[in-house]
Every structure is written in C-alpha cells, then in structure tokens.
Amino acid sequence: MWLLREPWLSLLDAAFVLLIPSNFLILMADSITVPRVRFAPSPTGFLHVGSARTFIFNWLYARHNHGIMILRLDDTDVERNTQQSVDSIFDGLKWLNLNWDEEYKQSDRLDLHRKTAWAIFEKGLAYRDFTPAHAGDAEKSGAQGTWLFNPGARELSRAESDRRAASGEPFALRFRVPRENEANSPTVWGQPPSAVRFAEGKLCVHFKDSVYGDQVKAADDIEDFALLRSDGMPTYHLASCADDADLRITHIIRGQDHLTNTFKHVLIFEAAGATPPQFAHLPLLIAPDGTKLSKRRHGPVVSVTTYRDAGFLPEAFINFLCLLGWSPKNDRENLSLQELQDAFSLEGINRSNAVVNFKESGSAVSSAAPNGDVIPTAREASGRNLLLVTEETFDPKALWLNAEHIRALPVESLSDRLLPIVRAEGWDVSPDKMLRVTSLIRERIKLLRDVLTTANFFFVKQLPPYDSAELIPQKGDAAMALKALMRAREILPNVEFRHDPLDHALRTAAQELGLKAGQMFQPIRVAVCGRKNAPPLFETLEVLGRETTLDRIAQAIAKLQ
RNA sequence: GUCCCCGUCGUCUAGCCCGGCCUAGGACAUCGCCCUUUCACGGCGGUAACACGGGUUCAAAUCCCGUCGGGGACGCCA
C-alpha cells in the first residue's frame, strides 16, 4: 500500500559513490530536492469542498513542480474517527481522479509521535502538567484574554515531576513556550536558524508565509499547548509536525484557519531539531452568509459527492474550485487540468476569503443531520435522491464552467458518460442512439443528470402527460394545430426520415396550408417531445424514427379532438 | 475578551509589492438587441465596484495612520 519514491536519495547515494566533493554535493542536494507536499484530512466526516480545494492546490503544486504528493490520514482523534468517513473521503478523492504518490496513516505512527514528544521533553522544552483535563474551561475563553498555562505546572521540578509520574498520576505533556522572564531556562532556543527572536523588545515567534507574507506573534500570546494527552495519545499539533518532519514535507499548503496554529508548529519543528517547511495558507471558502461553510448550516453544497451525484465533471469542479482564491492573472477562466497544472503557482493565490455563491434553500437545512458532521447515507448519496438538490444549489459559475467543459468534451466521451446515467434510470438505450442524442443535447445541458429531463422523450415509450394547449402555435388556435398535425400525419409516412427531406417536406406543407414555418413546427414538436423547448425538430425526428413520430402525432390529434 | 488575517461591480477576480498608461479590465449572474422553427449555443450592447476618514505627493485603488466592517484562532478537536 505504501508507495515509496525517493529518487533524490538514490541520487545522493550515487554521488557518494562517485566521491564528489562534499560542498558540491550540498549544492547538488539543494537543487535536486524534490518538493514534497501533503494533504492531511482527518476522517471525521465527508469530504468537504474546502478540503477538496486544499487537496487540489497541493496536487497542482506537486505536479507543476515535479514533486511528490502525499496523502496522510490524520486520525489521532480516536473518538471521532470512523471508517465510514475514511470511505467517504476516498470516494470523493477517487472521483476527482487526481493521484497521489505516497500514503500514510497517523495511527500507524504513534511511536514516532511519542518519541518526538519525549525528545522535546528531554531538552527541557516540554513539561508534565498534572492539572486535570478541562479544569477551568469555563473561564478560559472568557473576558481575561488568552490562557497561557496552568498555574504551578511549569515550575514543577524535574524530580517532582518524575516522582508523580512514576506514582501513576495522569498528566498531559505541554510545550514550554519561551517566556521573556525565563529566557535563560534550559532551552536550545537561539541556535540559528531559529524562529524565536526579539522584535520591538518582545520575544516573538516568526515565520514566512508564501501567501500572507511575514508573520510575527508575541510569545506571550501563545499558550503552552499540549503535545500528549493524558491517555498518551499525541495531539494534532504534535502528530502533524512530527510526521511532516519525518516525511520531509517541504511545503505545507493548507487552509488559513491554521495560520495562527503555525506559530506553534514552527516551535515544535525547531524543538524537534527540524527545519520548518515552507508554509502557504489558503484563503477560506465561505458561504453567502459570510460564515465558514458547514454541512449543518449550509447543507449538501459543502459535500464533494453532491457535485459528483448532480452530474458535475470532475475537471469542471476542479476548475471551479481553483478559481476560488487563485487566479492565473491572464483573464482565463475555462481551463483544462493540464492548463491548470501549467499555470499554477503560489504567487497567484490571494488573501481574502471567497464566497461560494449558492442560494440557501430551506430543504438543505432539513436534510442535514442534527450534528452537522455526518456522512451522507447511502440513500442520500444516491443520484436519484439528489434530484432534490436543485440547480440553484450550486454557484452559477460552477454551473457555467460545467456546461463549458461538457461542450468541450468530444461527443463520444460525453455520450459514454451519459449512457450509465440514462440506464440507471431504467431506460434501455443502445450506445449508438445515445451518441446521436448526445450531439443534440450537449449544448442544452449544464449538468450530466440534465440528460434525464432534457432528453427523456427520446427514451420513454409513452410520453408523460402534457397540456394539449401546448400544441397550439403562436398566433393560432386549436384548429390550426390540428390542421398542421393532420397534414404531418398524412405526408410523413412517405418522407425519408433524414434532416433534409423532412425539412423540405414540412416547409412545403406549411406553405400549402398557409402557415408560417414555426406554426407548422410547434405542434409537431410538442406532439413528439411533450413540451415546447426541445432540440431542433428535424434532427429530433430523425432520431425518434417514423414509427414513434407518427404514433405520437396520432396521440396529439386525439388530444385535440 | 486576547491575538491574527482580510476589505475592488451581486459573486469570482485583474490592477496594489515597483504611485501616473485606471474616465478601474475580464468572467459569471442580470437586463436589452441580433441570429433563429422553440430551447440552447453564439454575437453585440447596458446596469454595476476601489468600505470610510485623514495624511504623503504635482499625482493614490495603489504608500502611511486611524475608523468601521467581515472572518479566523485561542481545547488533553483536527
């Protein structure tokens, strides 16, 4: 399952063998180092569109720079992780059809995390906190500002700490964030390159973000965060950094909600003796109401599978997501995957949050589960059920892009994608007929599932009921409709069912009846399609065939009489 | 509450770093016209934005300060 590719390592080995001077080797290693990026979802729900975008940006960065894409399941929260969620995330990623090169699971690497934590402890950069969990939670986020540490815990002597631990007393391991008044405590701070330094007379933590620029935060605004919980499990911060260091991640591209966490991460990296990777934080995706997208509040629009089931093309969906918070800066918007890959760069990412512009529908709220964080059930996930998700559920630009990508597809491949959807509806269609129908509807659908409504009359034996008033043409009456239809019934048995002969025959018939072409065509169109809006008439008749056409015209005549 | 980030048409954005080519460009949506047997596609055009207030400067969307507004983070969640 683990695909390990380390081309640069073997190159290094080769260099050693060749006895290349070491200074040259360093240069070489530098220039050869392959970017390594990761997408690290935690399996506590379905695949969120925001996560999908993070994944896509990582992927684009990796592929653009000939780097390595890593998928890592951040599953250290035993309480909330579910296999169902893992499956759901893989479902979404599989649909996106973007591959990755290596795959890991944090729960397989707990030893590494603990080792890293205790190494930090041994350096004096972490301490045991015997304060019971959640003690004083109520006041914490209250009026008196940032909570920094539990009283007394920091000062506990090593001997006392060891004694209490040995006696079996539970404790959490906390990071000893450097404080000004104890700058001389046993630490390794100050060894360059260090993120900790004085700025404007204050002890500060610093890092550079590729998107947001230089970031500085006073150490006094960073609390002594936990590394290990009292049950011995690593926290997110620790596990994430230990793994990023161990996996030699070079660039961390993630949501801006992690921007302030990064100060902590930089501290962990340096305490663990690792060089922090390059960070790039992405602006957040928000809902029209201005808040972070959430399943509970905003419904199915935030789940990737909703887009899949509604008939988005993965490449269109990717294209859409890329345009939220990133721009190629050349006014191009409709881009293929390859074009995105070629154009992508961190410089094109902007800093302000982007609104996913959908209409908030009442049904969305009711269909969301009470805890808001659940995976769609099999029923919900099935395409049929999602017909309830209306077109206005989606950002109009996403819809437009999807339509563009649909039209850009060769008819054959579009037809191949449409066929299973039509068959799932229970309609038996040959690939040949599907192909012919496809070329008639490809400029008329925005979502793949639209084939079900736009082209239904090609597939059903019996037309759904329609109002006979529809048959009456512009500036005409029932008598006119009847006249047109009866004439059609008369001549069609002897006309070859191809575009030109049909065109000629029906136009002549209209002339003879003293009707405008439109007045002749409309009753026929409604008779065979069951509605006014449909693909061009002659091509439609051609696909439908003589028998069906005449049958439906006869039915329409009966309706009018 | 504390800290961090952000603020150009309804929405996504270009321009901002390196002030003048910006009477602010593109796209979606919207409205109108054209094409047309309906719908769609396509073509043409319209409406529509530099959050506000002060500086600096011959000149500010672009630089500085402040205000307001929005978002995020402050867990033994990730």
* ipTM summary value: 0.95
Q: At A148, is the pLDDT very low, low, confident or very high (cuts 50, 70, 90)? A: confident
Cis peptide before A493 (omega within 30 of 0): no
Task: Give distance CA A272 / C1' B76 (Å).
Answer: 21
Q: Does A497 have pLDDT greater than 60?
A: yes
Q: Does A303 have pLDDT greater than 90?
A: yes
Q: Does A384 have pLDDT greater than 70?
A: no
Task: Give distance CA A230 / C1' B42 (Å).
Answer: 66
Nearest nucleotide relative to A146: CA against C1': B2
Strand partners, A72: A104
Considering only CA atoms, which residue is closest to the C1' of nucleotide B77? A77
The conformation of residue A233, written as its DSSP 8-state character, comes to P
Measured CA to CA, the distance from residue A406 to residue A391 in angstroms comes to: 16
Nearest nucleotide relative to A532: CA against C1': B38
Considering only CA atoms, which residue is closest to the C1' of nucleotide B1? A143
Q: At A144, is the pLDDT very low, low, confident or very high (cuts 50, 70, 90)? A: low
Strand B bases near protein CB (under 7 Å) are 1-8, 10-16, 25-29, 37-41, 70-78
Q: Does A491 have pLDDT greater than 80?
A: yes
pLDDT in tens, A208-220: 999 999 999 999 9
Q: At A78, is the pLDDT very low, low, confident or very high (cuts 50, 70, 90)? A: confident
Q: Does A428 have pLDDT greater than 90?
A: yes
Asked if residues A519 and A537 have their Cβ atoms less than 8 Å apart, the reply is no
Residue range A66-81: average pLDDT? 91
Which residues are CB-neighbours of A212 under 8 A, at least 6 positions away?
Answer: A256, A259, A281, A351
Q: Does A420 have pLDDT greater than 70?
A: yes
Q: At A447, is the pLDDT very low, low, confident or very high (cuts 50, 70, 90)? A: very high
Which residues are CB-neighbours of A171 under 8 A, at least 6 positions away?
Answer: A128, A129, A130, A164, A165, A230
Give percent of chain A above pLDDT 70.
84
Q: What average pLDDT does chain A have?
A: 87
- Vertex A258: Cα angle to A77 and A237 (nearest 5): 40
Task: Give distance CA A351 / C1' B67 (Å).
Answer: 22
Number of other CB atoms surrounding residue A535 within 10 Å: 21
Give pLDDT, residue A383: 41
Measured CA to CA, the distance from residue A524 to residue A549 in angstroms comes to: 9
Lowest-confidence range among A17-31, A90-104, A463-477?
Answer: A17-31
Q: Does A284 have pLDDT greater than 70?
A: yes
Give pLDDT, residue A189: 59
Residue range A307-328: average pLDDT? 97
Q: At A139, is the pLDDT very low, low, confident or very high (cuts 50, 70, 90)? A: very low
pTM across the whole model: 0.89
Considering only CA atoms, which residue is closest to the C1' of nucleotide B25? A331
Give percent of chain A above pLDDT 90.
73
Give pLDDT, residue A195: 87
